[in-house]
Amino acid sequence: MADFDWGALLKIGGAALDAYGKKKSGSDQAAAGQQQNALAQFQAAQMRVNALDAQASAQIAAHDIQRQQDYATSRALAVAAASGGGASDPTVINLIARTAGEGAYRRSVALYEGKSKAQALNAQADATEYGGSLAVDSGNKSKSAYDLAALTTITKGATSLFSKYGGDGPSDNNTNSSTQSNTSNELF
């Protein structure tokens, strides 16, 4: 029997370890994509909450503006009454109308700003979610590439051994048992 070929064993072991490393790297890439997606989903959800907060804050601001307008109108009527004028006096009516117009404008601006900020946050949330889905896709593609590289490594190792030792399998040489036992003793 021929001497044991340690080089072939090392070549097989190296190919197996290389293939395992590539498979592991692919799995790690896919897991990283999933983690990035989870983070993106969390961030997008927080942005959507912030969008709702922006709209709520704008509504509160609009309510405060209405309250200030009501106070200014009431004050104008009180001052007009104290000075001897009436609520139907053209100056008082003009003052109240301007106050109402200014209040309506400020309320509209506050509501618009809240809506605009909410739309921007929702658009940013959509983009963040899309980025998360791209991370998953990228991780899965990397995994597929690493899986293919692992298969290629195994195939190259097998091809190398096949070309060195041939594909006929072990030969059926009739050797006597004493030669075989001597060879076995040399290995151990």
State residue 170's pLDDT score: 52
Query: pLDDT tens digits, residue range 118-160?
Result: 999 999 999 999 999 999 999 999 999 888 888 888 888 778 7
With 70 as the cut, is the pLDDT of residue 185 above it?
A: no
Gap between the Cα atoms of 105 and 94, Å rounded: 16
- State mean pLDDT over 111-120: 96
With 50 as the cut, is the pLDDT of residue 177 above it?
A: no
Residue 52: CB atoms within 10 Å: 13
Query: pLDDT tens digits, residue range 55-111?
Result: 999 999 999 999 999 999 999 888 888 888 777 888 888 989 999 999 999 999 999
| Predicted TM-score (pTM) of this structure | 0.65
| Total number of residues shown for the chain | 188
Q: Any residues with CB less than 8 A from the CB of 54 and at least 6 apart, and which?
A: 114, 117, 118, 121
With 90 as the cut, is the pLDDT of residue 18 above it?
A: no
Q: 33: exposed, middle or buried (C-beta count within 10 Å: 0-12, 13-18, 19+)?
A: buried
Rounding to the nearest 10 degrees, give the CA dihedral for residues 41, 46, 51, 54: -170
| Higher per-residue pLDDT: 46 or 23 | 46
With 70 as the cut, is the pLDDT of residue 178 above it?
A: no
With 70 as the cut, is the pLDDT of residue 188 above it?
A: no
- State mean pLDDT over 160-178: 59
- Nearest Cα to Cα of residue 110 among 69, 67, 61, 64: 61
State residue 158's pLDDT score: 78
Residue 112 structure tokens: 């618009």
- Nearest Cα to Cα of residue 162 among 154, 172, 173: 154
Helix (H) and strand (E) counts in the chain: 3, 0
State residue 166's pLDDT score: 66
CB 137 within 8 A of CB 33: yes
Gap between the Cα atoms of 61 and 55, Å rounded: 10
